[in-house]
């Protein structure tokens, strides 16, 4: 496949351990294990887009070289997660011996089975996997990749060395994004666009690359005369309003003379921006959590977060959307009133001290 038609996640996937931009501690440990030929079964876990799959594929190239594809079996366990896959596909791979080229010594001649999204495997499949781990321990290593380690059985975990992948730091995301911008000859209209990319990525590099590719495709089609990316392009690509729009909405909701007017503001915003109520609650929570709060307002915020959690739980149970929207409006106005009262009290206290 031509690199021009590849998803950017694959096009810019690191080929070696040295090209990885995150989790340097894990890379260093894997390099030492490889040098000592003491590779154990591995369990990579952590949030999406943190380099788990890229790390093990780069490590496989270090183990076997570029051309020895017969030494690697990569499966998405969420699609092939039943016991039949383990007994047929995986068993057939691990039970057959494959000779390496002359550039690799026998001590590195171990096959590697990569099971992505292993937390979706059925319990029976995980039990069968433990038997294969024990039976073929001399010539095969397994690497399980998952987001939630709690869904992996204790028997499988005990047979693996576990590595937790943390979300990428902003500096690491900036470095990876700059590589893509240079490779695709993309330009940003203002430096704030990069901050918008970091804001929507939340340490998820896969999401970051997908958003960039969507924006580039959209901009080159709609604005061929000026293809520079803007912050609005970033938020449009992911279907979210610009943070300034959300701030303006909440100011209108709090300052509205009546509850009915505030409710109409929210309904119009949801319809115009094509945003669901649970997404609106999530964005509002993200904005509140990044705003400095006075000590006396913390109690009101805690109560507000509890109310938001209750509304979100009701949404998951398919209750009336408009009724939940009304509850959300009421909670926001109540929080706004509490903040206004705290400011008035602080002002009155300062005047009395004078």
Other C-beta atoms closer than 10 Å to the C-beta of 35 total 9
DSSP annotation string for 331-350: HHHHHHHHHHHHHHHHHHHH
Residue 340: the pLDDT is 61
Domains 8-164 and 170-237 share a fold: no
State which fold the 170-237 domain adopts: Helicase, Ruva Protein; domain 3 (1.10.8)
Residue 273: the pLDDT is 83
Cα(154)–Cα(151) distance, integer angstroms: 9
State which fold the 8-164 domain adopts: Rossmann fold (3.40.50)
Contact 229, 187 (CB under 8 A): yes
Interhelix angle for 321-353 vs 259-272, to 10°?
Answer: 120
Residue 98: the pLDDT is 61
Average pLDDT over residues 316-339: 89
The token duo for 162 is 């576990």
Average pLDDT over residues 318-333: 92
The per-residue pLDDT of the chain, averaged, comes to 84
Domain boundaries along the sequence of the chain:
8-164, 170-237, 243-348
CATH class as words, domain 243-348: mainly alpha
Residue 81: the pLDDT is 65
The CA–CA distances, whole Å, from 98 to 33, 61, 139, 217 equal 22, 16, 10, 43
Instruction: Return the ∠ at Cα 138 (arms to 132 and 139), rounded to 5°.
Output: 80
Average pLDDT over residues 207-228: 85
144 pairs with which residues across the strands? 43, 115
- Best mean pLDDT range from 94-98, 103-107, 120-124, 295-299: 120-124
User: Is residue 120's pLDDT more than 80?
Assistant: yes
pLDDT in tens, 42-95: 999 999 999 999 999 999 888 877 766 678 888 875 666 677 778 788 888 888
pLDDT in tens, 184-210: 888 888 888 888 888 888 889 999 999
Average pLDDT over residues 128-141: 91
Instruction: Return the ∠ at Cα 192 (arms to 216 and 273), rounded to 5°.
Output: 65
């Amino acid at each position: 496949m031509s690199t021009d038609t590849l998803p950017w996640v694959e096009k810019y996937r690191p080929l070696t351990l040295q090209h990885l931009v995150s989790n340097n501690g894990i890379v260093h440990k894997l390099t030492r294990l490889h040098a000592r030929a003491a590779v154990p079964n591995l369990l990579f876990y952590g949030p999406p887009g943190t380099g788990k799959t890229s790390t093990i594929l780069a490590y496989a190239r270090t183990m076997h070289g570029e051309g020895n594809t017969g030494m690697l079996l990569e499966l998405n366990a969420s699609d092939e997660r039943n016991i039949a896959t383990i007994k047929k596909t995986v068993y057939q791979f691990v039970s057959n011996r494959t000779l390496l080229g002359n550039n690799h010594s026998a001590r590195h001649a171990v096959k590697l089975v990569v099971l992505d999204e292993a937390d979706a495997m059925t319990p029976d499949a995980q039990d069968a996997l433990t038997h294969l781990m024990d039976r073929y321990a001399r010539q095969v290593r397994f690497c399980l990749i998952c987001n939630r380690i709690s869904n992996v059985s204790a028997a499988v975990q005990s047979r693996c060395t576990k590595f937790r992948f943390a979300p990428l730091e902003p500096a690491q995301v900036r470095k990876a994004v700059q590589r893509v911008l240079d490779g695709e000859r993309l330009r940003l209209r203002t430096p704030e666009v990069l901050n918008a990319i970091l804001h929507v990525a939340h340490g998820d590099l896969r999401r970051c690359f997908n958003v960039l590719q969507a924006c580039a495709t959209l901009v080159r089609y709609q604005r061929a005369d000026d293809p520079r990316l803007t912050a609005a392009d970033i938020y449009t690509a992911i279907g979210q309003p610009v943070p300034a729009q959300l701030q303006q909405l909440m100011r209108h909701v709090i300052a509205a003379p009546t509850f009915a007017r505030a409710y109409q503001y929210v309904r119009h915003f949801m319809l115009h921006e094509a945003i669901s109520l649970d997404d609106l609650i999530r964005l509002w929570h993200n904005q509140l959590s990044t705003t400095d709060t006075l000590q006396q307002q913390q109690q009101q915020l805690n109560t507000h977060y509890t109310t938001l959690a209750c509304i979100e739980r009701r949404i998951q149970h398919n209750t009336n959307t408009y009724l939940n929207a009304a509850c959300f409006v009421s909670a926001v106005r109540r929080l706004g009133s509490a903040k206004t009262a705290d400011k008035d009290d602080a002002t009155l206290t300062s005047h009395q001290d004078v």
